[in-house]
Chain A
């Protein structure tokens, strides 16, 4: 087909820059298509089948989600049932973000989210002076500020029990705590597992294998069912704290293995050279080995964090209503029955946006490290 396209003539050139570049663009696209999708009989058949599948799936979905969808109104009666009823999502949206957090106090959640962004930007941005200081602030000052803001109980901020927390607020809070807790714990465990001291090594191995060996569902189940039986009658631990502790310990085992992978990747000459300079054990680890190891395992850490974020949906077991739990609540509201499809589609979208954002940040971080690493 490309053979028929005439070579560029002076007349063609006169036809105008836009038209020329347009036809060139089309030609390039056709070429790319032929090279990549239709370059053999087998690939042509596969491409044809995929196109047929898209044709079968996408138009009905667009029909449902866009063409026949409703978003106006404030009750189910506004939807005629021929397409998606986004009115439902619109009305229940606050509960997906805040759960049952009292409406008059929701500005506190917004402010905490803003604080997270404000503390997070200097940590993630490209050129920042004293990044280490910002990391320390994010891990110490921010949690205290956010905790006071969300829990309250101080003058001016009424107390809000954690049983009222819910929605994306819960996913974010639990993920933040679990990441902040499991990274240092994981590093310690990874170093412990490679340590020459037998007891430290055995304990680290035992901890890691124990937590990796049980499903998260079981851990949460234990936290809610078994823990109260061990505690004296009348003493209860807040459900949110239980979920946070369970997820932190669980994730730290995975973090430890990811970090150990990085430690394994640092040439042993580095360590030996550092010792030869007269550095002590912790100086060797902190200044020489860990910086190189962590650099190697950024993709693994991001992977674990994304995984953790999705795992936070399991906290429904301990009676907390995270984003997915809030969606489940909404589709069981008698005023909105029969709209499970819309609810789950929205939950999937929101989770995708969050996880995609995290992995994009991860990739940017990697690129920056690559640029600054002389190889």
Chain B
């Protein structure tokens, strides 16, 4: 009797597997993403950003959201909805950011958040793409005549306590046989004031924050940001697990911005290139050849709209971190063929 039941159960399992496979095969032909569906139906992308972080996400003088992270939200909205302004920004503190994403209130989280092993595996979240490589960076007084972190032997650096910054400096010092003194503070404002008052030779934090700190100094030009980064803080976008097509859209939206820069396509020459180009790479990128947009579940003009509305990655970086803005050397965020880490998987 029990044998019969087992056989019956076995048959059911095989059958359901077959049905499952068939379903999967169908899904490949027409992309099914609950998040994409919801965004399209709503006509608005819900994007979780920082409550205010110079360079990444802030409200400019006219009350509009602006910044590198905001640019990614706008790019995704342009690709999916055809309009970069159809975004609802949700300002999130670091304590609530992941829960708000998990609960489905936002479609993506791009909040200068470090992509880590545990966040990927323990939170049920997908780390879609890295849009900013940073890490512990140093800013020192120009009159110190120091060009590299190695040369900081004997210098005193203002540091905020309660982070990994201190430990990273100690590790770096031990590994490279330099003695870097630290002066500790509880709050960034106190550390800035001490640096302004000349109590230390430099200030350290991760790249974007150091650049912001430099802009806030009494005489920003007296300070220089050193090129080395002594720890890893890859910042990027998170989406919920279980919706791979949506994760792909976020990932390839960032890649489209990088690819555009690699192909020398910018906001200004975009239309001209589209009209005149004969290069196969550019034609594929702009959707003149191939069906790359459709493979994502979008239309083939998606990448054109991204560059049209926010520009390529280099333009976006310069707008917020370039010499005229926060003045952070591009370093790791250069394209791979210029010595950086911004690299696009093959567009084929």
Contact = CB atoms under 8 A, between A and B. Distances in A.
Interface of A: 81, 91-92, 94-95, 98-101, 103, 161, 163, 166, 221, 224-225, 228-229, 233-234, 236, 239, 316-317, 319-321, 325-326, 328-335, 337-340
Interface of B: 38, 51-55, 58-65, 88-93, 95-96, 99-100, 102-105, 189, 192, 212, 215-219, 320, 325-326
Given A328-B51, A334-B320, A334-B326, A95 B63 contact: yes
Given A236-B105, A334-B325, A224 B52 contact: no
Given A228-B100, A317-B96, A163 B88 contact: yes
A163 B90 contact: yes
Contacts of B65: 100
A332 B61 CA distance: 11
Q: Which 9 A/B pairs are nearest by Cβ-Cβ distance?
A: A338-B216, A228-B103, A332-B52, A337-B216, A100-B63, A337-B215, A225-B99, A329-B59, A329-B52
Nearest to B193: A341
12 contacts: A94-B63, A103-B62, A317-B96, A321-B51, A325-B91, A330-B59, A332-B53, A332-B58, A333-B59, A333-B61, A334-B215, A338-B215
Chain A interface helix/strand/loop/mixed: helix
Contact of A334 (B55, B62, B96): B55
Nearest to A80: B218
A319 B91 contact: yes
Given A326-B59, A333-B60, A337-B215, 13 more contacts: A100-B64, A166-B63, A225-B99, A229-B99, A234-B38, A316-B93, A320-B91, A329-B58, A331-B52, A334-B326, A335-B60, A335-B61, A338-B192
Contacts of B88: 161, 163
Nearest to A161: B88
B33 to A, nearest CB: 14
A31 B273 CA distance: 87
B28 to A, nearest CB: 25
B212 A337 contact: yes
Contacts of B54: 332-334, 337
Nearest to A344: B189
A103 B325 CA distance: 26
A228 B103 CA distance: 6
